[in-house]
Structure 1
Amino acid sequence: MALEDICGFKDTPVHRKWFPASHFEDTDRSFHMTDFGLRRLKKSGRNSGIPLQFFIPTLPNSVPFNPRPSLPFSPSNHSVTVSRPFPLSHGTTTLGFIFQGGVIAAADSRASAGGLVACPAVHKITPIHSHLVVTSSGSGADCMLWERILAREIRLYQLRHRRCLSICGTAKLLSFMLHPFKGTDVCVALTLCGWDKEVGPKLIYVCSDGARLNGDIFSVGSGSPYAYGVLDRELRWSLSKEEAISLAREAVFRATHRDAYSGNKVDIFHITAQGWISNCCSLEILFLLPGCLFRHEHRGRCGILQP
């Protein structure tokens, strides 16, 4: 699709069918679900005929729920939803805030499934492009899927229009794509932390029911009440870069002590007008000696690319 625009084939039937205009730049204009994809989404249960057919899961509205199928592997019951043997609760601690030096995003790295630590080294902060990162909380599979969809759509928009989509436009696009799955088992809570050339630092929270919230500080996850306790006491606009990074690290660190579903590393990203920079401080590699505490710190990669 993007190659059609780059090569100049903008008059093709495919382009006229799916890309009549830019829908997501005007942040003040409301969207009607039938204008872009919902009308076509209802055409088929397999989502055939829309560009996201390989990425968006089908809506579970055609198959009734049967927790005890008689023959789960028979051809007639191959699509029946099977209930989980026990409920899987999950939690995390992610946060983001704006200060005079840009935007700070921080998160722990523990993936949990009930009382099980499924993985101790999960990256819950995902770079979308050079000036935008996303913190994720909720179901791990759902978050990874929608982050990939969002990164793909942003990249295609950049190829078509020769510029990055604004943070507000990105939040509107993500909210619009998630809204049809409201009321389903999709569990996604993403915080968009980025920098716009026109408006500067932006922080927008988007969840799986399609809600969008603008703010200067967000903390999401089971450890968020403990992180808010630290942030509300120490956060101020005049923080220096070092103080902001230390505050984010301290907030997630305190949450890991009280929340059983949060722990291990703390990943920190700093987003400015020049791009994002990751600073990783491992809480797992702590060497306790009599009277000493050594913490391993590692300065990560940079995301300074031309949009």
Structure 2
Amino acid sequence: MECVFGLVGNDFAVVAADTSAVHSILVHKSNEDKIMILDSHKLIAASGESGDRVQFTEYIQKNVALYQFRNGIPLTTAAAANFTRGELATALRKVEDQMILESCKSSSGVPLVLSHYNPYFVNILLAGYDKETGPSLFYIDYIATLHKVDKGAFGYGSYFSLAMMDRHYHSGMTVEEAIDLVDKCIMEIRSRLVVAPPNFVIKIVDKDGAREYAWRESVKDAGVPSA
């Protein structure tokens, strides 16, 4: 029941995500931060399989840092989004190529390809701020679709958050208006989903950088009891 959504306002972008780490019917923790700070002015919020989500977002973060280290300038938000999309597409195409090649046997019956690749089952909202173009938000799904959007969402919560944003979103929103809309989306998700995530984290990026804005918690993880 993951929920990730975001929107672009007046000189800023805001992203919110649930913080539940679940597997099947089990909740492992309710304070998992699914929004990573890529660099000083970029955020990447992801939903999907836990292993893919963590591994892929860390991979993107390190490569964005490597580019800046090698070239002395950071990637723009659009460039980072296109790089992310390219890595998802590459992993997806490797699987297709493997399936084709492994279906072809040599005369001895030995497969031509012995390696194994997996696509990343991860959906991403990438938000950032650039001096030249201002704030932006990019929608990237697990089959490597890329769109620049004013608002976007993934997960079961998207059914309700997109409806709320369609009704209340307008260009040039202030931070206060955007956070109020985010809270409306969270309240709608909590009241409509049968199994709704209790906690959310909200992060914002603007000319002053990417940072955590607030948590919306209704359940706290219990600490480990002392012996």
Show the counterpart of 1:231. Answer: 165
Per the normalisation by structure 2, the TM-score is 0.80
- Gaps of at least 5 residues in structure 2 are 96-117, 221-227
- The counterpart of 2:149, out of the listed 212, 215, 219, is 215
Which protein shows a greater Rg?
Answer: 1
> Secondary structure in 2 aligned to 1:155?
helix
Larger deviation: 93-102 or 142-151?
93-102
1:108 is the counterpart of 2:42: no
Show the counterpart of 1:163. Answer: 73
Give the Cα–Cα distance (whole angstroms) in 2 for the partners of residues 115 and 261 of structure 1.
Answer: 10
Shift of residue 185, structure 1, vs aligned partner: 5.4
Show the counterpart of 1:245. Answer: 179
1:198 is the counterpart of 2:127: no
Show the counterpart of 1:274. Answer: 208
Written as runs of structure 1 = structure 2, the 5 A alignment for 1:1-307 is 91-182=1-92, 184=118, 186-284=120-218
Q: Is the 8 A contact 1:100 1:240 kept in 2?
A: yes
Give the Cα–Cα distance (whole angstroms) in 1 for the partners of residues 41 and 32 of structure 2.
Answer: 22
- Gaps of at least 5 residues in structure 1 are 1-90, 287-307
Residue 196 to residue 140, structure 1, CA distance change in 2 (3 Å): same
> Secondary structure in 2 aligned to 1:136?
strand
> Secondary structure in 2 aligned to 1:228?
helix
Q: Is the 8 A contact 1:104 1:270 kept in 2?
A: yes
Give the Cα–Cα distance (whole angstroms) in 1 for the partners of residues 196 and 137 of structure 2.
Answer: 23
Give the Cα–Cα distance (whole angstroms) in 2 for the partners of residues 185 and 159 of structure 1.
Answer: 28
Shift of residue 94, structure 1, vs aligned partner: 0.8
Residue 216 to residue 162, structure 1, CA distance change in 2 (3 Å): same
User: How far does the alpha carbon of each residue in 1:194-248 deviate from its partner, in whole angstroms, 9 at most, with x for none?
Assistant: 1112211111112222221111110111110011121111111242211211211
Q: Which has the larger share of helix? A: 2
Q: Kindly, what percent of the aligned residue pairs are identical?
A: 23
Q: 1 or 2 for the larger relative contact order (CA 8 Å, sep ≥6)?
A: 2
Q: Is the 8 A contact 2:88 2:119 kept in 1?
A: no
